[in-house]
Amino acid sequence: MATILEMRGITKEFPGVKALDDVNLRVEEGEIHALVGENGAGKSTLMKVLSGVYPAGSYSGDILYDGEVRRFAGITDSEDLGIIIIHQELALIPLLSIAENIFLGNERARRGVIDWRETEERAAELLDRVGLKESPKTLVDDLGLGKQQLVEIAKALSKDVRLLILDEPTSSLNEADSEKLLNLLVEFRRRGLTSILISHKLNEISRVADRITVLRDGSAVARLDCADGISEDDIIRDMVGRSLDDRYPPRQPHAKGETAMEVRNWTVHHPLHSDRKVVDNVSFHVKRGEVLGIAGLMGAGRTELAMSLFGRSWGRDISGEALIDGKPADLSSVRSAIDAGLAYATEDRKTYGLILDDTIRRNVPLAKLEAIADGLVVNPAREAEVAQRYRTRLNIKSSSIEQETVNLSGGNQQKVVLSKWLFADPEVLILDEPTRGIDVGAKFEIYTVIRDLAAAGKAIIVISSEMPELLGITDRLYVMNEGRFVGEMATDDASQEKIMARIIKSAETRKGEAA
């Protein structure tokens, strides 16, 4: 098998940090090569060097592609050779059609005028190759995330891709869409296309990858051949530099306290389609010292439930009652919800959880500015003290508290979000997909924080699409489907099979009701 790509001795430095240190990477033609490592290990940085986002001259070392040394001045240079990168944040324009997005910057034109017939016919061919049945005229805004990911791949195919780089392509997808995407990569391999896959989902890596390169602290520490029978534990050991015998901290036996929050008959309608109930007559409770999980498939209504509770941040015509410590809670606004003792760490930390172009120092105290202010003016010394305290407590890896959060890894960004809400000192903390896009080492640290908070008497609600995660860190589970709670069980008595059985049974019952 011929080598299509070789990166030799790649070193990349930013002010105060060496992101890549003499990294070597070799990729064979026609394989799926996985790139794994903890957040901040240098995976995305290495791929930005390869694709020309970081141009030649900004790093040291050599890139050999098809056996020749290449010096990319920008991303156009790498794309001209068929190296296409699809970033974790999709680069699509929602209000343009699929066809327009596929050929944006690469328009099908004659004498300066776009040929719409050719554009849509060619787009239809590409959509067929990725298994997407939508019309090329469909607006991207009308597609789910899984289909948007396929549009990105179709866009890559339109540029005669030979080496496809996917950065966390399944991090926001449900299991069905993830499966479809992975099957597509396997089909591409059969046709001779080479892929580099960056992912924290080791089960996916183990399933589709031919070889794995492991990065740790900016260095390539292992190259693994999956034909040798590599286990997930082997990969983790290389990633974190130690054996991670248990992926979840042990449950510490402690008595559960009184009910911290109770929700009764909570109903929420869709903000645009007022006749559609997204949360339908939901009731639940969570005790002090308890980690409560909410399981369900994508679209079950879990995030909508959490956001509607947190100051009515989502939905319309909201009805029902919420009590905190046995007293009716005013959740009519975000400020009121925080004052009532409720906090919500969003699943979308980049859009709603952080001010990305501001520093750790500014982000951490945001939810409780009055605690660091003299009257109406923030005290800079107290602000810095709080930020430094939580940077140390949650082991946030950064050059200092003055580092902008946009430049932190995903795991460290999530720790800043948690710091913000821990400083607010809520009675009830809702964590929505708290470990999405985070490596196993950072996950363990966040699980430990959750367990410590429960031991300190806080009530924690965890929403997660990863059932093993819910089974590993919670004490009790509710199962949600189609806007309703359809099951409740102690985690010790739960399993993935039991959770899915409740979902399937409820769907069949709902279908019978509709008939």
Q: What is the rounded average pLDDT of the residues 39-68?
A: 91
Q: Give the integer Cα–Cα distance in Å for 81 and 512.
A: 55
Phi first, then psi, for residue 115 (nearest 5°) are -90, 95
Q: 453-485, pLDDT tens digit by residue?
A: 999 899 999 999 888 889 999 999 999 998 999
Instruction: Using the predicted structure, report yes or no on whether residue 513 has a pLDDT greater than 70.
Output: no
Question: 285: exposed, middle or buried (C-beta count within 10 Å: 0-12, 13-18, 19+)?
Answer: middle
Place of tokens 């940090």: 17
pLDDT of residue 246: 66
Q: Give the integer Cα–Cα distance in Å for 149 and 89.
A: 10
pLDDT of residue 245: 57
- Residue type present at position 409: S
Task: Give the ranges where 195-317 is alpha helix by DSSP (H).
Answer: 202-208, 232-240, 302-309
Q: Give the integer Cα–Cα distance in Å for 370 and 378.
A: 8
Q: Give the integer Cα–Cα distance in Å for 25 and 222.
A: 10
pLDDT of residue 484: 93
Q: Give the integer Cα–Cα distance in Å for 515 and 495.
A: 31
Q: Give the integer Cα–Cα distance in Å for 128 and 383.
A: 54
Question: 22: exposed, middle or buried (C-beta count within 10 Å: 0-12, 13-18, 19+)?
Answer: middle
Q: Which residue has the higher pLDDT, 167 or 70?
A: 70
Please name which of 51, 82, 38, 455 lies closest in space to residue 216, comparing C-alpha atoms: 38
pLDDT band at 61 (very low <50, low <70, confident <90, very high): very high
Q: What is the rounded average pLDDT of the residues 52-59?
A: 93
DSSP annotation of 198 reads E
Please name which of 194, 193, 172 lies closest in space to residue 437, comparing C-alpha atoms: 172
pLDDT band at 144 (very low <50, low <70, confident <90, very high): confident
Range with lowest mean pLDDT among 208-217, 352-361, 478-487, 502-511: 502-511
Q: What is the pTM of this model?
A: 0.67
The DSSP-derived string for 8-74 is: EEEEEEETTEEEEEEEEEEEETT-EEEEEE-TTSSHHHHHHHHHTSS-TTSSEEEEEETTEEE--SS
pLDDT of residue 217: 82
Q: Give the integer Cα–Cα distance in Å for 251 and 472.
A: 9
Element at 167 (helix H, strand E): strand 163-167
Place of tokens 């050999």: 64
Classify strands 32-37 and 211-216 as parallel, antiparallel or unpaired. Answer: parallel
Question: 59: exposed, middle or buried (C-beta count within 10 Å: 0-12, 13-18, 19+)?
Answer: buried
pLDDT of residue 243: 55
Contact 209, 189 (CB under 8 A): no
Q: 166-193, pLDDT tens digit by residue?
A: 888 887 676 777 888 888 889 889 989 9
Domains of the chain: 3-240 (3.40.50.300), 246-341+426-515 (3.40.50.300), 356-424 (no CATH)
Phi first, then psi, for residue 262 (nearest 5°) are -130, 135
Q: Give the integer Cα–Cα distance in Å for 364 and 275.
A: 39
Instruction: Using the predicted structure, report yes or no on whether residue 3 has a pLDDT greater than 90.
Output: yes
Which tokens sit at 270? Answer: 């869709």
Instruction: Using the predicted structure, report yes or no on whether residue 512 has a pLDDT greater than 70.
Output: no
Contact 317, 269 (CB under 8 A): yes
Q: 334-376, pLDDT tens digit by residue?
A: 999 999 999 999 888 878 889 989 999 999 999 999 999 999 9
Instruction: Using the predicted structure, report yes or no on whether residue 515 has a pLDDT greater than 60.
Output: no
Give the C-alpha distances (Å, rounded to integers) separating 72 from 42, 48, 112: 19, 11, 28
Long-range CB pairs of 223-231, under 8 A, 24+ apart, other chains included: 223/26, 230/206, 231/206
Q: Give the integer Cα–Cα distance in Å for 398 and 473.
A: 27
pLDDT of residue 343: 95
Mean pLDDT, the chain, integer: 88
Q: Give the integer Cα–Cα distance in Å for 143 and 99.
A: 13
Range with lowest mean pLDDT among 33-37, 231-235, 256-260: 231-235
Q: Give the integer Cα–Cα distance in Å for 133 and 426.
A: 46
Q: 280-309, pLDDT tens digit by residue?
A: 999 999 999 999 999 987 778 999 999 999
Range with lowest mean pLDDT among 195-204, 210-219, 232-241, 358-367: 232-241
DSSP annotation of 367 reads G
Q: 401-453, pLDDT tens digit by residue?
A: 999 998 887 778 889 999 999 999 999 999 998 887 777 777 888 899 899 89
Place of tokens 């020749």: 68
pLDDT of residue 171: 72
Instruction: Using the predicted structure, report yes or no on whether residue 244 has a pLDDT greater than 60.
Output: no
DSSP annotation of 70 reads E
Contact 157, 163 (CB under 8 A): no
pLDDT of residue 208: 92
Task: Give the ranges where 276-354 is alpha helix by DSSP (H).
Answer: 302-309, 334-340
Instruction: Using the predicted structure, report yes or no on whether residue 17 has a pLDDT greater than 80.
Output: no
Question: 498: exposed, middle or buried (C-beta count within 10 Å: 0-12, 13-18, 19+)?
Answer: middle
Which tokens sit at 363? Answer: 């982000």
Q: Give the integer Cα–Cα distance in Å for 121 and 171.
A: 31
Instruction: Using the predicted structure, report yes or no on whether residue 14 has a pLDDT greater than 90.
Output: no
